[in-house]
Structures are given as C-alpha cells and as structure tokens.
C-alpha cells in the first residue's frame, strides 16, 4: 500500500472537506477524491459517509485514521533520525581490524569521540586478510590493514608509518648491541605469530635468501603473548614497533637492528570506492586527515 493515499485520507478526515484538503496538499479536489476512492477500493471498505452536509467517518474510517496518525508520527520520527545522522548526533561506525592494527586506530578514535560523542564506535576484530572482501561485500564500511589490497573497488589511506622490529629480552646475549647480522640468528628460537601475513612471509624469505635457519619452534595466537614470551627470555621475535614501543621505553624489551632485514609497515585505512560512505564514516576520514595535516 502506498503512503500517499493514507496522507490524503488523513488530511480529508482532519479537514472534513475534500476542497480544504486539496488546498492544503496543493492538489485539485478531483485528485483528492480519486485518491480516497482508490484507498477505499484497496481496503474494500467505505471510509467516509458522504450523504450528509459534512463528511463523517465510518467505523472503518476511524480505524484507518488511527493508523494514518501512527504513520505520520513514524514519518516524523524517521525524518528526525535521518537529520541526527547528518548532524552526527547519532549513528554507528564499524571498523574491521586485527589485533595489532587496532592499536593504530586508538588515537583517531579518541579524537573522533571528542567531536562526535553520540556516534557508537565498534572496532570488529577480524583477520586482516578478510577485511577487503568484507568491505566489498558490505559487512564493513571501514577497515585497517597493513598492506595494499590492490583492488580498484577499494580506496586506501595511509594513517601510520611503522616497521617490524627485532626484539629480545634485557637478559638476552644480544641485549647490549645496537645491531646484528642475520647470519647470527640461526641458533635463536623465534616466537612467531601463527597467522599468515605478508610480513611473516617476508621474514621467512629473507632467511631463505641468506641461507640461515629460521627456528620458529613456538607459535602464539596474539602479539601480546609473543611479547610476554620474549620478555621472559624464552625466545626472540619480529613485532610491529608500535605494539612494543612502550615496553622498549620501559626497558622491558630491547630493539636491535638486523642489517639485512629492514621492513617498513604502512597502516592503511580502507573503504569502498564505488559506494557512498555514511556520514559517520565520512567524519572519521576527516578526523584522520586532520591528524595527518598536523
């Protein structure tokens, strides 16, 4: 059922006149009469008693009038909600990220919440490799990843420049050194992340090229558990600098340069190129741009 005939009937019932309803809706009286007749035909009930000098509602007409008023209230409520979205007084922002890339969003989310405290922000944990397809499929609007997806259906926005760093415990034999060669790492136990990523593959291939054994005897599911193992001197690891910078500054970990393995890590905000972003997502991009300009 179309909403227009209901709006016409509501106006006729309120004004008790086809002509006054036409003036209010900027329609001719015949057009108003026709709209009411179509509504009556669709419902199979007479809604107005036209026999007297003034229009009166039938029993069916009073029921329909009640629902028309509900529709009118819902229409006003919908318009108000849409206006709030435009003004960012409501709405929701969903960003997909894995464990480590979540850290690169914290500063931007804090700034965003200060500007738009009524927008609900949800960072949904997901595998980095799945973020591009989830955005394309419409399951996510924004995503944070550490590689270029290389897909024309996606736009990317670099939000942070990071690098993989080689970390050891302060009790490790390398702790007092500034740098080591990759050939010196063949006897080390590496605590590895058990999620496949471009950076894991880069490290593996670097060891293969140097013909040095890479002992990944322990694999852990999170960056945090890897860091804890390294702190306890149970092994060494390559980890994103931002994920361990605080521990390095506190003296709980030591960063040592590996001469043959300098890996830059660009964190990208990803979003669809062929689909309009919500007002909340557009505002988040503006916050990120503002931080980059500073």
Q: How confident is the model at residue 34 (pLDDT cuts 50, 70, 90)?
A: very high
Percentage, residues of the chain above pLDDT 70: 95
Whether pLDDT at 102 is above 80? yes
Q: Structurally, how many domains does the chain consist of? A: 3
Domain of 23, CATH number, reads 1.10.10.10
Q: What is the pLDDT of residue 73?
A: 76
| Average pLDDT over the chain, rounded to an integer | 89
Residues 146, 193 within the same domain? no
| 133 in the same domain as 274 | yes
Give the per-residue pLDDT at 2: 72
233-258: pLDDT as tens digits: 999 999 999 999 999 999 999 999 99
| Beta pairing, strands 56-57 & 48-49 | antiparallel
The CATH number given to whatever domain includes residue 104 is 3.40.190.10
Residue 74 to residue 78: CA distance in whole angstroms: 6
Q: What is the mean pLDDT of residues 194-207?
A: 88
CB neighbour burial string for 179-191, b if at least 16 within 10 angstroms, e if fewer: ebebeebeebebb
Q: Does residue 82 share a domain with residue 199?
A: no
CA distance 274 to 277: 9
**Per-residue confidence (pLDDT) for residue 89, from 0 to 100:** 63
**CB of 168 within 8 A of CB of 231?**
no
Task: Answer whether 249's CB lies under 8 Å from 201's CB.
Answer: no
pLDDT at position 214: 95
Residues 141 and 204 in one domain: no
pLDDT at 84: 65
Q: Are 156 and 282 in the same domain?
A: yes
- Classified as helix, coil or strand, 202 is helix
Domain that holds residue 184: 162-265
The predicted model gives 80-86 an average pLDDT of: 69
Answer yes or no: do 139 and 101 share one domain.
yes
Give residue-wise pLDDT tens across range 116-157.
898 889 999 998 889 999 999 888 889 999 889 999 999 998
Same structural domain, 178 and 59: no
Same domain, 136 and 116: yes
Model pLDDT, residue 106: 92
Q: 45 by DSSP, 3-state: which?
A: coil
What pLDDT does residue 269 have?
A: 94
Mean pLDDT of 9-22: 89
Task: Tell me: do 273 and 254 sit in the same domain.
Answer: no
Cα 65 to Cα 51: distance, rounded to the nearest angstrom: 19
- Alpha carbons 283 and 42: distance in angstroms, whole number: 45
Both tokens assigned to 6:
């209901």
Q: Is the pLDDT of residue 216 over 90?
A: yes
The answer to whether residue 1 scores a pLDDT higher than 60 is: no
């Amino acid at each position: 059922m179309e909403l227009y005939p209901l709006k016409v009937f509501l106006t006729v019932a309120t004004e008790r006149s086809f002509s006054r309803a036409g003036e209010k809706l900027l329609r001719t009286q015949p057009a108003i009469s026709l709209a009411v007749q179509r509504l009556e035909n669709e419902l199979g009930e007479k809604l107005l008693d036209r026999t007297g000098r003034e229009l009166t509602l039938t029993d069916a007409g009073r029921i329909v009038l009640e629902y028309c008023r509900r529709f009118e209230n819902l229409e006003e409520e919908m318009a108000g909600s849409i206006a709030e979205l435009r003004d960012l007084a409501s709405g929701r922002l969903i960003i997909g990220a894995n464990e480590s890339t979540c850290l690169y969003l914290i500063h931007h989310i804090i700034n965003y919440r200060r500007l738009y405290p009524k927008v609900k922000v949800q960072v949904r944990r997901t595998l980095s490799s799945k973020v591009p397809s989830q955005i394309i499929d419409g399951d996510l609007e924004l995503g944070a990843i550490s590689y270029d997806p290389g897909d024309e259906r996606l736009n990317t926005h670099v939000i942070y420049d990071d690098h993989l760093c080689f970390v050891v415990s302060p009790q490790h034999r390398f702790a007092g050194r500034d740098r080591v060669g990759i050939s010196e790492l063949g006897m080390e136990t590496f605590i590895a992340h058990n999620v496949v990523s471009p950076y894991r593959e880069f490290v593996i291939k670097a060891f293969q090229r140097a013909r040095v054994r890479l002992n990944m005897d322990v694999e852990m599911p999170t960056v945090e558990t890897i860091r804890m193992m390294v702190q306890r001197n149970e092994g060494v690891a390559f980890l994103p600098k931002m994920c361990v910078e605080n521990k390095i500054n506190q003296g709980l970990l030591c960063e040592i340069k590996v001469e043959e393995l300098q890996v830059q890590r660009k964190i990208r905000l990803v979003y669809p190129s062929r689909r309009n972003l919500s007002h909340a997502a557009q505002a988040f991009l503006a916050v990120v741009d503002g931080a980059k300009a500073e």
